[in-house]
Structures are given as C-alpha cells and as structure tokens.
C-alpha cells in the first residue's frame, strides 16, 4: 500500500505549535539542530515508504505462525526489521552510554508514527524494545544494563513485556506466576502469560522477556509483585546467547488484525530470571515501560489513521460516481469531502497532542522540572486514548469512503480498521486511561489540568485580533472545561468521577485540538487556517455534550440494575 510520511506536518508542528524549540534550547538536546532533525525525518521517511510500507499487506495475507515450536514471521519482515535496527531507529532516545543516540523523545515519537503508518504489525516489535530499554535504564543493576542494553539498542536482541495472565488482565495484582530464589542470585520463574506481543521471532539472536511474578513472601495484590528479566537464551558474560531457557511459546492467538505480529501464550517452567529493581517493586519498574508504551500506542493509532486517510483520499480522487462537479470523482461530493476533512483535522489534532506530550517528556529529562513532569503525566492518558480513538474512527471512516469496496478485503481499507482496533485495548484500555486521568492525575487538585487550560485561554486571547470567531469558540470551550474540571475535583466519591471519565478525556482532547488548530491558523498558513476553521466550528462543539455527560455523575448510572440491563 503506498504511504507517504507527512514530514511537512511534523516540521510545522515542531516549529509553530508544540514548542520543540524549548527542547533544543536545553544543553541536553542542543545537538538536535534543525538540519539534523530534517535529515533524521527525511531518512526515516525514506525507510518507511520504500521498505516498510510494501510489507503492510504481506503481513495481513501471510500471518506469523508457529512451526514446531518456532515462530515463523511474515515474508519480508526480517529484512524490514534489519532496516529498522541497522538504521539506529530502535535506540534513538536511549542513552549514548549504551549505544543509543540520546535524541529527544519527540523525534522518536515521529519516527514511530511513520513506522506505524507504514506497517503497524512490524513496528510493534521495536516499540516493545524501546519500552524495555527505558525500564532497564531506570531500574536495572549495572551488570544487567551492561549485558542487555547494547544488544537491545542495536536490535540484535528484542524485548517484550509479560503482564497478563488468563485470570489477571487489567487486574495485574491477581497474577499467579511465581518466582523462587535459586540461591545464586537468580530466580526460577514459573507460570503462564498471555497476549505477549512479539514473544518470539526468527530474525533476532535473542528475545528478552520482562516478566511480572510474585516472590514467596510477596503480599497479595500489586504491592507484592516483582519484575524479572527472563531471556529466551541465557547469555554468557560477554553477551553470547547460550543454552535455551525453560520457557516456550505454547500457541499464537488468532486475531482480528495485526496478523503479521505474533501474539503468544507463554509458558515459564522454572525459567531462570534476574531481578529488575527491588523485591516487590515490580509495578514501579513495569510502569516505566508501560508509560513509554502508552505514548507509543497513541502514536500507533495516529500512524494508522494517517495510512488509512491516505488510502481513502487516493480512492476518492480516482473513483468516479454520481453527478459530482469538477473532476467527477467522489471527492467532489459534499459528504465525502466532510469525511475526508474530519479525518485530516482529527489526525492533526491527535498528532499535535502526542507531540506536546513528547516535548513535555523531553523537557522533564532535560530540566528535571516538576511542572513539566506533571504535564507529561497528564497528557499521557489523553494521548493514548484520543490517539487510538482517532485511529479507529479514521480507519472506520476510510472504509466508508470506499463504499462497498471498503468491505472487500482486496482494497486494503479494512485492514487498517482491523489492525488498529486493539490499540484502544492494550497498554491499559481507554476506559482505564480515562479513570487514571480523573483520579491519579488529579491528585494535585487539578493543578496540571488548570495550567493547560490557562495556556489554552491565553492562546485564544492572543488570536482574537486575527481570528476573533475562532478564538472566542476556543476560549469559551476552555472555560466550560475549566468549570467541569472544578466540579470533578470536588467529587470525593471516585465513582462520581469514573462515570464520566471517558467523555471528560474526550472533551479535554477536543479542546486541546481546538487550541492546536488555532495556533496553526495563527502561523499564517492559509490551508491550515481553513482546516482550523472546520475543526473549531464543526468538531470542537462536541465538547459541550460530553461535559454535560460528565456532570451527571454516577447516581443515575448506578441506579440501573443488572436486571434492567438483561431485560
């Protein structure tokens, strides 16, 4: 499927909207000059367009499969992975001490989006490794870092994370996997894990599993969980993979989409593992990896949305149907134009939010400032949930643009919808992201939220002279969101917050989208001003109905009985 990386959008957002200049002004990231940034994006775009995009369809038609205990990957995936690894794209933001490039997370985020738009099934592999690299950098012993990080960063080895069990999905604390001390500093890991993305492959030397398990003295729940490195092949002191560990792929899941990405049931039978972080401190270490992945998964949704949009746009420009004016193609029909413009406007908003998040992470790394850290934490669930919701909505609309042909597999439109659907589920469902936003992320009495709202209102005030109607709409939306945020913070019963958590997150994303579109219009680009007008006049008003939903609380919802639902 043809794919073109939207590098001009990336550059515009970095230059005019998301504050990337603040990142490069720090000593930590001063080497990320405009010339270097442009070269990186150009080179990554070339790889995605020429190497990865042609694999998109192959991964769907020729899924990964299990052959006598060995995972065989889709045709071309080994070459695609090699291009990713040798290009240095896995360790872009990893520490130079271990072979990484030390580049801003903002650039890694953009490259991850490109790879997702080109071939999501393959991109999921390096995303898992990136999360594992960050977890090891923050929590592993020096010996583990020295042994594993260079291999993961180079792509010679790849990483996974093992959380879920048949009885322990979102409730990770219910896991039963055991870790028994071996008496030599290692542990015997026994248990079963499910839904393990890229648990094995036929193109890397080793697969490194981060596994959550409970020590014999671990208390019930999440506070008794520890994290362990459990490699497929046990390396010797110089990093050469040795004997096979006591673990195996039991089976691969038969999935709705992402057929090129093997998702496994894993069995650990006294496998040798090494503790990462302190005993019973597994969740803190795993959340480092999961928060990295939540930004990455939000970007996966945006990347797939871009691919689906380009696919639909090309079809709409070519397909002749009805009495359309102009070229006679269906793109001239008002309703098709509405669908395409909605797709483009939402992708732009979601991408900008993700980049705001990445910039906040970079500024936290560069300055250690608590305000930047709080901003990054607040934006993470919004990025994940809104980015993946946009991915699903845009891919679904892409099928609609194709009409009947969208329901025919040969056009490829349906693959985007099937592949992206899981992104709203893994790394914490979008409902869990919303609950996190209105609870944990508001333990500061809403301070991080109010700072963002103040920034949005200041931006609207600055835009009043050039775009009075658009500025007023964004300002009023932010004020309504502020009032609802004040109401939320005042609810001590978390159920009152949780009942409206999903619409609240969506409303916050809508208002942030209005802010970034208005900022783009202020940069003087006529096309972006027209897109901003569409978003602010037609999509931003959605926030009002969502916030009404939020303020209803939980009473009427909880009054509905189980019998009512079954009737």
Q: Active-site residues: which are they? A: 427
Is residue 250 within 8 A of residue 266, CB to CB? The reply is yes
Q: How far apart are CA 228 and CA 232, in angstroms?
A: 13
Q: How far apart are CA 187 and CA 241, in angstroms?
A: 19
Q: How far apart are CA 463 and CA 459, in angstroms?
A: 6
Cα dihedral 33, 36, 38, 42, rounded to 10, equals: -160
Output DSSP code: residue 319.
Answer: -
Output DSSP code: residue 536.
Answer: I
According to DSSP, the residues that pair with 70 across neighbouring strands are: 67
Give the chain's length: 567
Q: How far apart are CA 145 and CA 171, in angstroms?
A: 29
Q: How far apart are CA 161 and CA 155, in angstroms?
A: 16
Q: How far apart are CA 414 and CA 422, in angstroms?
A: 14
3-state DSSP call for residue 244?
strand
* Rg of the chain taking only CA atoms, in angstroms: 24
Q: How far apart are CA 232 and CA 158, in angstroms?
A: 10
Provide the sign of the torsion angle of the four alpha carbons 251, 256, 258, 260, taken in this order.
Answer: positive
Is residue 266 within 8 A of residue 162, CB to CB? The reply is yes
Q: Which of 99, 89, 117 is nearest to 9 (CA)?
A: 117
Output DSSP code: residue 95.
Answer: -
Quick one: tokens of 71?
A: 């995972």
Q: How far apart are CA 376 and CA 389, in angstroms?
A: 20
According to DSSP, the β-strands at 157-162 and 206-214 are parallel
According to DSSP, the β-strands at 70-72 and 65-67 are antiparallel
Q: How far apart are CA 485 and CA 482, in angstroms?
A: 5
Provide the sign of the torsion angle of the four alpha carbons 171, 177, 178, 182, taken in this order.
Answer: negative
Is residue 91 within 8 A of residue 126, CB to CB? The reply is no
Is residue 11 within 8 A of residue 107, CB to CB? The reply is no
Spatial CB neighbours of 468, under 8 Å, sequence gap ≥ 6: none
Output DSSP code: residue 333.
Answer: S
């Amino acid at each position: 499927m043809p794919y073109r990386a939207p590098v001009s959008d990336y550059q515009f957002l970095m230059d005019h909207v998301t504050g990337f200049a603040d990142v490069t002004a720090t000593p930590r990231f001063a080497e990320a000059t405009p010339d270097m940034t442009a070269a990186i994006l150009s080179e990554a775009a070339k790889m995605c367009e020429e190497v990865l995009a042609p694999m998109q369809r192959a991964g769907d038609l020729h899924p990964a499969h299990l052959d006598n205990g060995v995972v065989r990957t889709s045709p071309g995936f080994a070459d695609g992975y090699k291009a990713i690894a040798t290009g240095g794209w896995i360790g872009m933001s990893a520490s130079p001490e271990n072979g990484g490039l030390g580049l801003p997370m903002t650039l890694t985020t953009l490259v991850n989006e490109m790879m997702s738009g080109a071939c999501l099934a393959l991109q999921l592999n390096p995303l898992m490794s990136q999360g594992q690299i960050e977890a090891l950098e923050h929590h592993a012993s020096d010996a583990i870092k020295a042994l594993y990080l260079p291999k993961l960063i180079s792509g010679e080895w790849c990483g996974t994370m093992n959380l879920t069990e048949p009885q322990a999905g979102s409730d990770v604390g219910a896991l039963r996997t055991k870790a028994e001390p071996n008496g030599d500093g290692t542990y015997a890991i026994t248990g079963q894990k499910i839904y393990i993305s890229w648990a094995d492959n036929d193109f890397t030397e080793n697969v490194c599993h981060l596994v959550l398990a409970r020590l014999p003295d671990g208390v019930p729940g999440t506070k008794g969980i520890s994290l362990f490195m459990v490699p497929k092949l046990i390396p010797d002191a110089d990093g050469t993979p040795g004997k096979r560990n006591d673990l195996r792929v039991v089976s691969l899941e038969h999935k709705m989409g992402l057929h090129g990405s093997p998702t496994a049931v894993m069995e650990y039978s006294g496998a040798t593992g090494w503790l990462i972080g302190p005993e019973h401190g597994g969740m803190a270490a795993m959340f480092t990896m999961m928060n990295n992945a939540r930004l990455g998964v939000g970007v996966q949704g945006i990347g797939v949305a871009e691919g689906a949009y380009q696919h639909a746009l090309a079809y709409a420009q070519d397909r002749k149907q009805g009495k359309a004016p102009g070229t006679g193609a269906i793109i001239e029909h008002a309703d098709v134009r509405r669908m395409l413009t909605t797709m483009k406007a939402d992708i732009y908003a979601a991408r900008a939010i993700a980049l705001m998040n990445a910039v906040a992470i970079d500024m936290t790394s560069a300055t250690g400032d608590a305000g930047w850290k709080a901003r990054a934490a607040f934006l993470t669930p919004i990025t994940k949930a809104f980015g993946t919701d946009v991915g699903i909505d845009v891919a679904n609309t892409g099928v609609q643009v194709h009409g009947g042909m969208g329901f025919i597999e040969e056009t490829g439109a349906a693959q985007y919808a099937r592949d992206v659907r899981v992104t709203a589920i893994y790394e914490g469902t979008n409902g869990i992201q919303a609950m996190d936003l209105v609870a944990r992320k508001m333990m500061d009495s809403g301070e991080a939220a109010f700072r963002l709202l103040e920034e949005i209102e200041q931006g609207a005030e600055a835009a009043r002279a050039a775009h009075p109607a658009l500025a007023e709409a964004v300002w009023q939306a932010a004020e309504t969101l502020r009032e609802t945020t004040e109401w939320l913070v005042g609810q001590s019963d978390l159920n009152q917050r949780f009942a409206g958590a999903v619409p609240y997150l969506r409303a916050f994303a809508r208002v942030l989208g209005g802010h970034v579109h208005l900022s783009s219009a202020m940069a003087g680009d006529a096309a972006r001003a027209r897109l901003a007008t569409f978003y602010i006049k037609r999509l931003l008003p959605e926030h009002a109905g969502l916030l009404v939903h939020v303020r209803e609380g939980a009473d009427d919802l909880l009054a509905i009985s189980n019998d009512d639902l079954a009737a």
